[in-house]
Amino acid sequence: MYVTIPSVTAPDLPLITLPDRGPHHAAFTLKAGRFLFRAGDTARLIYYVHSGVLRLTRVFEDGRRQVIAFGYPGDVVGFPVDGLHHTDCDAVTEARLQPYRRSALETGTGDPELHRHLLTAALHEIGAMQDHFMMLGRKSATERVASFLCVLKERVGQSIGSYDQVALPMSRADIADFLGLTTETVSRTFTLLRKSKVIALHQVHTVIIRQPERLTALAQGEDRLTPPKRARAPISAVA
């Protein structure tokens, strides 16, 4: 999952449902925190996410980290580059995964329909990543966080009463590394959104969208959050 420009994206990518292919490739469960693969691993399989959330990351030697993407239900992760995995991938939450042979993507032999599905997923991936560049290159902190919440609302938002609720299973640090910010900035932005009554935090990891239109506007830079004027300390020495 990437953060894409709302209006431009195909409204609902038809979630691919791929058929099971025998015992060797049965769906399986990955516990939270366990790694699915690491950068440099030989890629034998690619994975369709049935449920749960994965985290794809890259790290520098100096420790700087970038969350490349979150793998949400309907996503395909593990596209190989020259036969190798290119990122680390671990589970944010317990996840149910359907593995497919890399060859199912790379050679049409066997199952043409499956091949086409995986290829379509790869092309969607490219398109979504292109949109995400906009985010990282050109959006402000507020726009990034708002965009992130918008996308999650569309994909995994739950309607409760008259509001939509969004679960954020990942840590603030994950969100920061995904959006190219720091945890502090992400936290502060949540606080701003909260104080502006655009969102509410039901729990730390559960956001309620109180003003969806406002959030969308913020995501696209059509609106701004007024920074809280810091209470003017009465240093009226001069007057």
The length of the chain is 239
- The full DSSP string for the chain is -----GGGS-SS-----PPP--GGG--EEE-TT-EEE-TT-B--EEEEEEES-EEEEEE-TTS-EEEEEEE-TT-EE---BTTB--SEEEESS-EEEEEEEHHHHH--SS-HHHHHHHHHHHHHHHHHHHHHHHHHHH--HHHHHHHHHHHHHHHH-EEETTEEEEE--S-HHHHHHHHTS-HHHHHHHHHHHHHTTSEEEEETTEEEES-HHHHHHHHTTSS-PPPPPPP----TT--
Binding segment toward a second copy, per CB under 8 A, in 15-23, 91-99, 115-123, 195-203? 115-123
Per CB under 7 A, does 93 bind DNA?
Answer: no
Please state, in angstroms and rounded to a whole number, the distance separating the CA atoms of residues 153 and 168.
10
Q: How many residues bind DNA (CB under 7 A)?
A: 23
Per CB under 7 A, does 180 bind DNA?
Answer: yes
Q: Which of residues 9-48 bind DNA (CB under 7 A)?
A: none
Per CB under 8 A, does 23 bind a second copy?
Answer: no
- The item of DNA, a second copy, none sharing an interface with residue 238, based on CB under 5 to 8 Å by kind, is none
Q: Which of residues 129-148 bind DNA (CB under 7 A)?
A: 140-142
Per CB under 7 A, does 203 bind DNA?
Answer: yes
Per CB under 8 A, does 153 bind a second copy?
Answer: no
CB of 7 to DNA, least distance (A): 21
CB of 42 to a second copy, least distance (A): 14
Residue of 190, 215, 216, 218 that binds DNA (CB under 7 A):
190
Per CB under 7 A, does 205 bind DNA?
Answer: yes
Please state, in angstroms and rounded to a whole number, the distance separating the CA atoms of residues 68 and 37.
14
Please state, in angstroms and rounded to a whole number, the distance separating the CA atoms of residues 180 and 125.
19
Per CB under 7 A, does 187 bind DNA?
Answer: yes
Please state, in angstroms and rounded to a whole number, the distance separating the CA atoms of residues 121 and 16.
8
- The item of a second copy, DNA, none sharing an interface with residue 79, based on CB under 5 to 8 Å by kind, is a second copy
- The item of DNA, a second copy, none sharing an interface with residue 136, based on CB under 5 to 8 Å by kind, is a second copy
The contact set with DNA (CB under 7 A) reads 140-142, 171-173, 180-188, 190-191, 201, 203-205, 227, 230
The contact set with a second copy (CB under 8 A) reads 5, 8, 10, 39, 56, 58, 60-62, 64-66, 68, 79-82, 86-87, 105-108, 112, 115-116, 119, 122-127, 129-134, 136-138, 177, 179-180, 220-221
